Structure 1
Amino acid sequence: MKKNKVLSPCINICQTDPINGYCRGCGRTRIEIASWGNKKTSDEWKRKNLKEAENRLVGVQRSLFAMAYKEKHERLYSQSLKK
C-alpha cells in the first residue's frame, strides 16, 4: 500500500441510519460509498469526503471511528512494509 493512498473509511460497521441515511460506522451515504469503489473517483474527492463523513459523526461514534480508522491504516501500512 502506498503511504499516501486514501484508505476507505469503512470500518465494517455497515448499518445505514434510516433517519439521516448515513452509515453508522463511517458516516457516508450509499452514493458516497459507491463512489469510493469507482476507479475514476479522485483521491482529492476521497480526502474531502473522508473529512465530511467524519464530521457527520458525533461523540463516542466519532471517537471510535477515528480510532478504528487509524488502526486500519497502521495495520495495512505495516503489512505493506513486510512485502
Structure 2
Amino acid sequence: MKKNKVLSPCINICQTDPINGYCRGCGRTRIEIASWGNKKTSDEWKRRNLKEAENRLVGVQRSLFAQAYREKHERLYSQSLKK
C-alpha cells in the first residue's frame, strides 16, 4: 500500500440512516460510496469527501469512526511494510 493512498472510510458498519441518508459507520451517502469505487475518482476528491463525511458524524459515532479508521490505516500500512 502506498503511504499516501486514500483509504476508503468504510469501517464495516454499513447502515443507512433513514432520516438523513448517511451511513452510520462512515457518514457517506450511497452516491459517495459508489464514487469511491470509480477508478476515475481523484484522490483529491476522496480526501475532501473523507473530511465532509467525518464532519457529518457526531459524538460517539465520530469517535468510533476516527478510532476504527486510524486502526484500519495502521493495520494496512504495517502489512504493506512486511511485503
Please say whether Structure 1 and Structure 2 have the same fold, judged by a TM-score greater than 0.5: yes
Q: CA deviation at 1:37?
A: 0.1
Q: CA deviation at 1:48?
A: 0.1
Distance 2:13 2:60 in 1: 14
Distance 2:46 2:30 in 1: 14
Q: CA deviation at 1:28?
A: 0.0
Percentage identity across paired residues of the two chains: 96
Match of 1:75 in 2: 75
Distance 1:60 1:31 in 2: 24
Q: CA deviation at 1:16?
A: 0.2
TM-score calculated relative to the size of structure 2? 1.00
Distance 2:71 2:30 in 1: 24
SS in 2 for 1:14: coil
Structure 1: runs of 5 or more not aligned: none
Distance 2:56 2:48 in 1: 13
Distance 2:2 2:74 in 1: 12
Number of aligned positions between the proteins: 83
Structure 2: runs of 5 or more not aligned: none
